[in-house]
Amino acid sequence: MVSIEEQRSLSIRFLIIVVIMLMGSSEARDFYVGGSAGWVVNPSETYEHWAERNRFQVNDNLIFKYKKGTDSVLIVSKEDYDKCNTIKPIKRMEYKGDSTSLKIHRSGSFFFISGNQGSCRKGQKLFIVVMSVRYQKSSPPPQTPALTPQPAVSPVPAHAPTAKAQAHAQAPAPIPSSSPAAASLPSKYSIALVSVPVSLFASCSLLWLL
């Protein structure tokens, strides 16, 4: 049994196919050769000029309007087109309804002339160029330019000592110089030490005499 999801998927696919078919049919255009005048002798606007005003693509339709039994349309080569040669055409187009029509099935050049050689020489001939089908190609993504590798940088400590502080730390401590007062200190002590025993000796001598 088909599930709901499968039914939805089939419906979507069907709609896509229908849209594609409609788009393809809407792109095809009908071109009435010669405009309102149709396929005639000595047209007011040459068929060459008429073809230059239009752009033909694959799947377009060329419609030649004329009265049945009075004219015809031949597909010929470039050489027979220039010479209005009606003897060996590539194809003799059929008359259906009130016109002769051709569905363009390929790109390139097409040459048409009247089945009446005299009418062809009076300008009843047509040359068209059908454009090829163009497909839009997705552009490649832009390429990111290669980045130049940067040299590695050693990390700096948060409390790195400055050059001035390093120089100050490496410098030896100065030797303190002796002051004059410090230099004279030993001599004073020596005099005092000498004077003490002398005074003691004098005191002892005085006591003995008494």
Confidence of residue 11 (pLDDT cuts 50, 70, 90): confident
With respect to residue 100, please indicate whether it lies within any of the assigned structural domains. Answer: yes
Residue 186 confidence (pLDDT) above 50? no
CATH number of the domain enclosing 112: 2.60.40.420
With respect to residue 138, please indicate whether it lies within any of the assigned structural domains. Answer: no
Q: What are 110's strand-pairing partners?
A: 128
With respect to residue 173, please indicate whether it lies within any of the assigned structural domains. Answer: no
With respect to residue 151, please indicate whether it lies within any of the assigned structural domains. Answer: no
Q: List, for residues 34-47, the tens digit of each pLDDT value.
A: 999 999 999 889 99
Q: How many domains does the chain have?
A: 1
User: Which range of residues forms the domain containing residue 89?
Assistant: 4-131
Give the pTM.
Answer: 0.54
157: Cα separation from own chain's centroid: 45
With respect to residue 141, please indicate whether it lies within any of the assigned structural domains. Answer: no
Q: List, for residues 119-159, the tens digit of each pLDDT value.
A: 999 999 999 999 986 554 545 555 555 555 565 555 555 45
With respect to residue 198, please indicate whether it lies within any of the assigned structural domains. Answer: no
With respect to residue 75, please indicate whether it lies within any of the assigned structural domains. Answer: yes
With respect to residue 181, please indicate whether it lies within any of the assigned structural domains. Answer: no
